[in-house]
Structure 1
Amino acid sequence: MSFPSTLPLEFERPAYLFLLAGLPVVLLLSWRSMSGVDPWRRYASIALRSLVVLLLVAASAGAIFVKPNRELTVMFLLDQSRSVVDADPESSGSLRNNQLDYVRALARRIPPDDRVGIIAFAGQANIEQLPSRGGVFTDKLSPVSLPDQTDLAQALRLASAVLPQDTAKRIVLVSDGNENVGDLLREVDVAAAADIPIDVLHIEYDHPNEIMFDRLVVPAQAQKDQRIPVKLVIRSERPARGRVRLYHNDRPVPLGEEGGESLAVELVPGPNSFVAQMVLNQSGPHRFRAVFEPDDPNQDRMAENNVAAGLTLVQGKGEVLLLAARPGDDALLRDALRRENIDVTLRLVEEVELDLVGLQQYACVILANVPASVFNEDQHRALAAYVKDLGNGLIMTGGDEGFGAGGWIGSPVEEVMPVHFEVKHKKILPQGALVIILHSCELPRGNYWGERVALKSLETISSRDYIGVLAYSWNPGGVNWEVPIQLAANKPKIAAVIKRVQIGDMPDFATTMELA
């Protein structure tokens, strides 16, 4: 509950304001009890008692005096990747200059006390103008690094770090949205947790001279020695000529009647289809890649999209992949499986290209006492998808590095397994306590990795373990228990608090070590 904007007063528990109904009773009793006192003392005593009652009611209702901050800082994030920048970015009508002109026009309309900042980005983000009053001072944007990439997440992360703490905040993202690096949704969640609104201006454009591979179509699965069609679809904006090359497992495929390594084609505006026939005489994954090469490079603005790929899986007799963490581990298990006429291959984790494509040649994967730390996040998701999406088998053996002891708690693999990795028997599992001290601001992207380490540690420990997080934060200043030590029962709530921590440069380690 709050009063009109002229009174900066709010109440956390407005229901207690009904106690003010008893104020007339207090006034009446005070008036009668002091009938023999001289008027000056009588009025002063009644006013003092009324003030005490008002203060008690206000304290019970949680009165808060709010000082509104009417200053605003807006960070403009301008996409300068190749997907939006013209071939001649220095021309007056280029998308690059149009974005800067758009920011200038908006800056002229904002109040003089508000601040404007500019970040240009592609694969890397650069600060073109720190938040400043008085509009835009940048005449033109600097060249960006890695123009073939679009990392929206990095730009958003940098903008959140640059925004000042003493004003309201806002981010305006100017982009076509073609992200190919980073995780934008995660950074949006972090900005939302910090109460930073994000506006998006979607860039629309047209490329008149463009040829691109629309798709390469092959069956998802096939039988051994089966002939399959490989359909190539090329889209062109104008009539063009060129050559098509097709590769099967990185080997050229003969095309056309003469059986050459390329096929001469004439493209018409719109989609153009071509079909090749292939016989797959081996089990496992078959990768296809097609490339279009125009006779006149000027007819194609961007050569990078002249490539398409496809995958067909040929089922074999059901091979089992046995993964071990150390040489010689589980040789007995391998021999036992082979005695049962099961085709099994024993490999060390580092010897296998563990992705969803490579796993498809196996009917089952056995993790023989392998810890979760030897796999990255993409490999965790690949193992889960191998079971959930492809319907294959996954077996995990016990040991000192399997299940919960191996750090698999909360992983995507646990979600697809038929058992919980966290031991529920309180008499068997002792409680642990983990205190994390965050002091990572002096490292490149240190605060980001400090947050990631803290979140991963939270995921790994049991819900019966204790966790606490210490940091030298800016609000309030000094060493603080950002997460007071507590049971890790509500992990989503604790994770949200960790994402909001503003990590500062602590002057010493003794204070935090003593607290921990």
Structure 2
Amino acid sequence: MFEHSLAFDRPAYLLLLLLIPALWWLGYRSLAGLGRWRRWFALTLRALVVLLIVFALADVQYQRRSEGLTVVYLLDQSLSVPADQRDAMIEYVRNSIKQHRNDAKGDRFAVIVFGRDAEVEVPPVSADEALHGQVESLLDPEYTDLATAIQRAKAIFPYDAAKRIVLVTDGNQNVGNGYREARTAADAGVSIDVVPVFLEPRGEVAVEKVDIPAGVRRGQPFDMRVVVRNDMKPGDDTPVDGRLLVIRKAGDREEIIAEQDVSVGGGKQVFTIEQQIDQPAFYTYEAKFVADDPMADAMAQNNNASAFTHIRGKGQVLFIENVEKKGEFDHLVERLR
């Protein structure tokens, strides 16, 4: 499992070991009066001292080389990877361990799952039973941070084994700099293998924005516009059918003001809803699209958007007239009323 050896940073000093036979010969003659055993003991001690001094000058180092390998699997659990492929990653890790791990050399494995952050699902172990049938760590799946996952992997590597990272991901990172962190790990002696997750092209529907005036007078009609975008799969012109839901919120009050079946074709489509509010307050409008066929929409997390507006009370006009010409602008006053 381990290989032991000595290494020297300045091996040229080892030539001084040639002095030991000369010192032994000179000492053997000069110490003849000590008796046989005392003379041999003195000569051996002198040779040992010289040997230690030469080794110190040559900067001797004791090395223990391990043949064991620790593999850390980084599993992408973000929403950009379909749920069935995220579940299949555990089975991939299990098969990879059975195929490549060498118990005789002390190989170990670990599993880290990541989204916005990274969590250690399984620490470095050698037992297959440590691998669960599903991911148990709680993550924020709306982001992908490869850099944090690689940093966490470097932190849990044991010191006495070769280091390898197996990165299972679709590569769609939106937080951090995974490339820079991978270069840093490689410079530190960590080998990195990438298992790409290939995604089938699918249509993507998103609620791009809700457009309403920022401020409106009480009782004044206005239009609320919901912009929905459909990025169709190449070669497929089939629109995506679903339901558009619009909710209006004011404080603790919440009500559905529109719910209709819509068909979203390619590109952008604008849905207009007329509104008129008589109660002054701050209002939040939230629009949500729900596809009839979930497989027609690659990511449901971007299917809602919101905006707010302030409904102001009726305006008042202060009219000042000349007391000497009172009534001169009565017609204007009536028109303002």
State TM-score, norm by structure 1.
0.38
Deviations 1:69-100 (A, max 9, x none): 55543321101222222xxx3xxxx3223321
- Could you tell me which residue of structure 2 aligns to residue 105 of structure 1? 95
1:145 is aligned to 2:139: yes
Correspondence for 1:61 among 58, 62, 67:
58
**1 or 2, which has the higher strand percentage?**
2
1:152-191 → structure 2 map (5 Å cutoff): 152-164=146-158, 168-188=162-182, 191=185
Q: What SS does the corresponding residue of 2:297 show, helix, strand or coil?
A: coil
- Using a 3 Å threshold, how does the CA distance of structure 1 residues 305 and 234 change in structure 2: closer, same or farther? farther
- Using a 3 Å threshold, how does the CA distance of structure 1 residues 83 and 120 change in structure 2: closer, same or farther? same
How far 1:53 sits from its partner (Å)?
Answer: 1.5
1:328-339 → structure 2 map (5 Å cutoff): none
- Using a 3 Å threshold, how does the CA distance of structure 1 residues 110 and 155 change in structure 2: closer, same or farther? same
Aligned partners of 1:304 and 1:295: how far apart in 2?
A: 9
Aligned partners of 1:6 and 1:187: how far apart in 2?
A: 31
State TM-score, norm by structure 2.
0.56
Contact 2:3 / 2:64 at 8 angstroms: preserved in 1?
no
1:210-229 → structure 2 map (5 Å cutoff): 210=203
- Using a 3 Å threshold, how does the CA distance of structure 1 residues 241 and 101 change in structure 2: closer, same or farther? closer
Q: What is the number of residues matched between the two proteins?
A: 233
Give unpaired runs (5+ residues) of structure 1. Answer: 214-232, 244-263, 273-292, 308-516
- Using a 3 Å threshold, how does the CA distance of structure 1 residues 123 and 129 change in structure 2: closer, same or farther? same
- Could you tell me which residue of structure 2 aligns to residue 123 of structure 1? 116
Contact 1:211 / 1:306 at 8 angstroms: preserved in 2?
no
Aligned partners of 1:131 and 1:32: how far apart in 2?
A: 61
The root-mean-square deviation of aligned C-alpha atoms, in Å, is 3.9
Contact 2:71 / 2:163 at 8 angstroms: preserved in 1?
yes
Aligned partners of 1:149 and 1:23: how far apart in 2?
A: 67
Could you list the runs of 4 or more consecutive aligned residues of structure 1 that deviate by over 6 angstroms after TM superposition? 264-267, 293-296, 304-307
Contact 1:239 / 1:266 at 8 angstroms: preserved in 2?
no
Correspondence for 2:46 among 46, 49, 56:
49
How far 1:129 sits from its partner (Å)?
Answer: 1.7
Aligned partners of 1:265 and 1:101: how far apart in 2?
A: 38
Deviations 1:220-247 (A, max 9, x none): xxxxxxxxxxxxx96633421449xxxx
Give unpaired runs (5+ residues) of structure 2. Answer: 207-229, 241-262, 268-288, 304-337
Q: Point out which structure has higher relative CO (alpha carbons under 8 A, 6+ apart).
A: 2
Contact 1:75 / 1:170 at 8 angstroms: preserved in 2?
yes
- Using a 3 Å threshold, how does the CA distance of structure 1 residues 6 and 240 change in structure 2: closer, same or farther? closer
Contact 1:75 / 1:159 at 8 angstroms: preserved in 2?
yes
- Could you tell me which residue of structure 1 aligns to residue 257 of structure 2? none
Contact 2:3 / 2:66 at 8 angstroms: preserved in 1?
no
Deviations 1:14-53 (A, max 9, x none): 1211111222322232234345664434433332222221
Q: What SS does the corresponding residue of 1:236 show, helix, strand or coil?
A: coil
Letter in 2 for 1:121: F
1:199 is aligned to 2:179: no
Contact 2:202 / 2:232 at 8 angstroms: preserved in 1?
no
Q: What SS does the corresponding residue of 1:140 show, helix, strand or coil?
A: coil
Q: What SS does the corresponding residue of 1:119 show, helix, strand or coil?
A: strand
Q: What SS does the corresponding residue of 1:240 show, helix, strand or coil?
A: coil
Percent of paired sites with the same residue: 34
Contact 2:76 / 2:115 at 8 angstroms: preserved in 1?
yes
